[in-house]
A and B are shown apart, each in its own frame.
Chain A
Amino acid sequence: MLKTDFKKLILGIVFLVVFAAAPAFLPEAYVYLVGMMFLFLILVISWDVIVGYTGQVNLGHTVFVGLGAYTAALMQVPSRFEGSVDFLAGMPQAPIPVSILAGGIVAGFFGLAIGIITLRLKGFYFSLVTAILPLVFLKSVFVFSDIFGGEEGFSIGLERSLAGDVTLRYYYAFVIFLISFVIIYFIVNSRIGLRFRAVRDDEDLAESIGVNVVRYKILSFVISSFFAGIGGAAIVHYRITIGPDLYDIPLMLLIILSAVIGGLGTLYGPLFGGIVIYLMKSWWLRSLLPSIPEWLPINDDVILYAILIAVGVLAPEGIWGRVREMLRERAEAESPQST
């Protein structure tokens, strides 16, 4: 036990050092990209809390990302409410930490409402409802385009970004990610996290030993939504613009793909999956695409969906889990006495 903890510690320190030093070596455009990746990782690990740890398939995580994002953006540009919700238009511009927190809180409360309605029911209602939510919220951006800015979205202005300097902004994103990760880490490894897993593994058994199943499902969902909102709000302050892409399904699939490849319910797996998938989508796929013949109906999304289907069918427990299992089997085969 101590040995694996030591290994984890070393890995963690390497991770910290590499990413803390990265801006010194990377060109500025890549620094920007990796910073964005940290915020994306918040979305992935927060999704893992409800789906991987608690076993409830949330297909509408981007709704909470988008809610956090639009909340933060509108708190920076309250004048967009003019002519529709006038009493909000006079709101003073909020300090950045307040607007990020508010994004999380609004998303968390919405999660609470949806959770109370759907999670008290057994079965598939939660997945069905969360699957519909992104489409409805996407629609709302266009229907109320005076406020939300429609397809193009709107900008909150460079002076409201996390920091004017790209490198400094990178470190802010890194710190927001680390704080979120540490909090989520402690939650899922606490007694609460243990109950989440009990609910996932056997609902009836959990109920019979006195775990209030519904309450823990809702709690897990609220925590997950809160961090999705934090991530969304932080993204707005990172890239300065807001648009419907934060609600949209390609982002949802990217989150699902990262977590599934890494292995659900492991936190490290989705983290690793998120890094691989985000960098792959941003670098490798872009450079691969021109080599695909024109006549094939393939773009980067198609490739990602195909990968997701393949991983889902061939390695439902995640590639990370598969690899770990293979390594363990090999180690056991080599030294049968030591176990």
Chain B
Amino acid sequence: MIDIAVRIIVYGAVVGGIWALVASGFSLIFGVARILNFAHGIFFILAAYLGIVLAKSGVNPYLATLISILFVGGFAVAIYTGLLARIKEHEVMVIIVTLAIALLVEQILIIIFGEHGISYPALISGVLRIGKTPITYKRILAFVVAVVVLALLELFIHKTRTGKMIMASSQNYEGALLVGINVDRIFIITMFLSAVLAGIGGVLYTQVFAASPAASLKALIFAFAIVILGGLGSIKGSIVAAFIIGYIITITNQFLGAQWAEFAALLVIIAILVFKPTGLFGVEE
């Protein structure tokens, strides 16, 4: 009984930390540029696959991780400047085009790697035991990295000049333009940050679980559930909601089985929309 409790507490925190990274990235670009990025999941999964490929071809796993995370950041900037910036005013098309990008990348990954999961090269090994519950260092690493990155994100946004510009652009687009902020540049920086957050989440997730092309859509579903629970566009809400969703998923996995996780996510979303549509920290539009 205590074993199960310990496992749920620890595993839930790990899963919550990873999804907090992914969802805060999703929330960031939505809040700042009003882009509902359905392609967010591919940054998550591309970073993982690229890291795996690089590490397999002999690159040091840490270096491989760094390269692949920066790569998805660059890829996101390319998608933004090449495609999304042209159709930003056309909300319907932004949704359709980003969804098409997501499916295109997923399809290519399926062709190259197959549908089966492959795991990320270990960045750390070893097992810690709390009572009878084994906890791999990988999970601990995932949690610690997630918390550190989220803290850095918080610092960056509130303490640096660029971070404050990002906040200003998200609060009032015209106002930011008026005081001389180069909003286009801010959008590009935000897109980069958003993808990097998803990329770190992807590497950590595939450390603990495994990389499969379908995981990108799964990441997207959980990101949706989290941002709806946390309130669209609120980063603080996303982080709190990610841990709630993380625990819901872990409990569902523990007692019902992994195939019910999507149902649980959907139920949470429906329940929030019925009872408190603005989410925990959202603002009325």
Contacts and interface: CB of A to CB of B under 8 A. Distances in A.
B9 interface: no
A299 interface: yes
A209 interface: no
B10 interface: no
Contacts of B93: 260, 312-313, 316
Contacts of A298: 108, 111
A309 B83 contact: yes
Given A136-B263, A299-B111, A256 B97 contact: no
Nearest to A123: B285
Interface string B94-124: 0111011101100110011000000000000
Interface stretch (B15-23, B160-168, B247-255, B269-277): B269-277
A309 B92 contact: no
B103 A253 contact: yes
Q: What does DSSP make chain B's interface, helix, strand, loop or mixed?
A: helix
Given A123-B232, A127-B95, 15 more contacts: A57-B91, A57-B95, A59-B99, A122-B285, A132-B265, A135-B221, A136-B262, A140-B263, A253-B99, A253-B103, A260-B93, A302-B108, A305-B100, A306-B104, A316-B93
Contacts, number: 107
A125 B228 contact: yes
B108 A118 contact: no
Contact of A256 (B96, B104, B277): B96
A51 interface: yes
Q: What does DSSP make chain A's interface, helix, strand, loop or mixed?
A: helix
A104 interface: no
A239 B53 CA distance: 43
B193 interface: no
Contacts of B224: 128, 131-132
The 3 A-B pairs at the shortest CB distance, nearest first, are namely A305-B104, A312-B97, A297-B111
A132 B36 CA distance: 14
A299 B107 contact: yes
A89 to B, nearest CB: 24
Interface in A259-318: 260, 264, 297-299, 301-302, 305-306, 308-309, 312-313, 316
A255 to B, nearest CB: 11
A308 B273 contact: no
A139 B87 contact: no
A142 interface: yes
A313 B108 contact: no
B30 to A, nearest CB: 8
Contact of A125 (B99, B101, B259, B273): B273
Contacts of A55: 92
Given A142-B259, A253-B103, A316 B87 contact: yes
A142 B108 CA distance: 24
Q: What is the size category of the interface that chain B forms with chain A?
A: 35 or more
B259 A139 contact: yes
B217 interface: yes
A249 interface: yes
Contacts of A264: 92
Interface in A20-70: 51, 55, 57, 59
A128 B270 CA distance: 11
B259 A309 contact: no
Contacts of A128: 36, 224, 228, 269
A125 B233 CA distance: 12
Nearest to A118: B273
Contact of A260 (B83, B96, B111, B265): B96
Given A123-B285, A297-B108, A312-B87, A143 B259 contact: yes
A124 B96 contact: no
A43 B38 CA distance: 23
A249 B273 contact: no
B185 interface: no
A143 B252 CA distance: 15
A117 B274 contact: yes
Interface string B69-103: 00000000000000100110011110111011101
30 contacts: A57-B95, A117-B270, A117-B273, A121-B273, A125-B277, A128-B224, A131-B220, A132-B225, A132-B269, A133-B266, A135-B217, A135-B262, A139-B259, A139-B262, A140-B263, A256-B100, A260-B96, A264-B92, A298-B108, A301-B103, A301-B107, A305-B107, A306-B104, A309-B100, A309-B101, A312-B100, A313-B86, A316-B87, A316-B92, A316-B93
